[in-house]
Amino acid sequence: MIKGIGMTTRQRILRKLVNLYPPFMGAGIRISFDETANKVNVRMKLSWYNRNYVGTHFGGSLYAMCDPFYMILLMDILGKEYIVWDKAAKIDFVKPGRSTVFAVFYIPDERIEQIKKEVDEKGKALPEFIAEVKDEQGEVIARVHKYIYVKKKDARKK
C-alpha cells in the first residue's frame, strides 16, 4: 500500500460487513481483505445454491465474486479526491468449476502510481485489470477483465 494512507473507520467497518452483502451471501462468496489494503482474497464453495443446470459453478456467481473488488481497492487507495467507477467488464469461461474456486485481486503500488500519473497527464484513466478464478488444483476456471474509470474530482469543475 502507498505509504501514508491508512484505512478510515468507515473502510474498516465496510470490510467487516462485506460478507453480509446479500448477493455474496446468497452465492456463498467469502471475502477477506489483506491488511495492506491493496489485496482482496475471494473464495466460493460449490453448493446446491450456486450450481448451474449441469452441476458446475453458475457463471453469474463466478462473475459476482469478481465484480466490485478492483473498484473498491482503487477507491480505498486513491481516496476521496478521485472518482472511481466500474466502466466495463468481460468474463471468459475457461473450464467448468467443479470445486471451491478462488480469486485474488491485487494492485501493486507501481500500478497505482501509473494510474495517478495518467490522470494527471490526460485528465482520466481507464486501466484494465485481469483476475483469474482458479479451482483447488490451481487451474484457471475463468478470466475476468475489468475496466475502471478514474478521474480527479476537481477535474469535473473545470
Q: Which CATH number is 49's domain given?
A: 3.10.129.10
Q: Is residue 128 part of a domain?
A: yes
Structural domain total, the chain: 1
Dist CA 17 CA 58 (whole Å): 24
For residue 1, pLDDT over 50 is answered with: no
On whether the CB atoms of residues 149 and 85 are closer than 8 A, the answer is yes
What pLDDT was estimated at residue 4?
A: 40
| pLDDT tens track for 77-136 | 999 999 999 999 999 999 999 999 999 999 999 999 999 999 999 999 999 999 999 999
Least confident of 1-10, 27-36, 62-71: 1-10
Q: Is residue 44 part of a domain?
A: yes
Q: Is residue 3 part of a domain?
A: no
Q: Is residue 136 part of a domain?
A: yes
Q: Is residue 2 part of a domain?
A: no
Q: Is residue 1 part of a domain?
A: no
What pLDDT was estimated at residue 61?
A: 94
Residue 16 banded pLDDT, cuts 50, 70, 90: confident
Q: Which domain holds residue 13?
A: 9-157
Dist CA 62 CA 141 (whole Å): 9
Model-level pTM?
Answer: 0.86
Residue 8 banded pLDDT, cuts 50, 70, 90: low
What pLDDT was estimated at residue 36?
A: 73
Short-list 32, 62, 82, CA closest to 143: 62
Q: Is residue 123 part of a domain?
A: yes
On whether the CB atoms of residues 56 and 96 are closer than 8 A, the answer is yes
- Cα dihedral 119/77/107/99 (nearest 10): -130
For residue 7, pLDDT over 90 is answered with: no
Q: Is residue 135 part of a domain?
A: yes
3-state secondary structure the chain: CCCCCCCCHHHHHHHHHHHHCHHHHHHCEEEEECCCCCEEEEEECCCHHHECCCCCECHHHHHHCCCCHHHHHHHHHHCCCEEEEEEEEEEEECCCCCCCEEEEEECCHHHHHHHHHHHHHHCEECCEEEEEEEECCCCEEEEEEEEEEEEEHHHHHC
What pLDDT was estimated at residue 10?
A: 64
* Cell numbers placing 32: 477477506
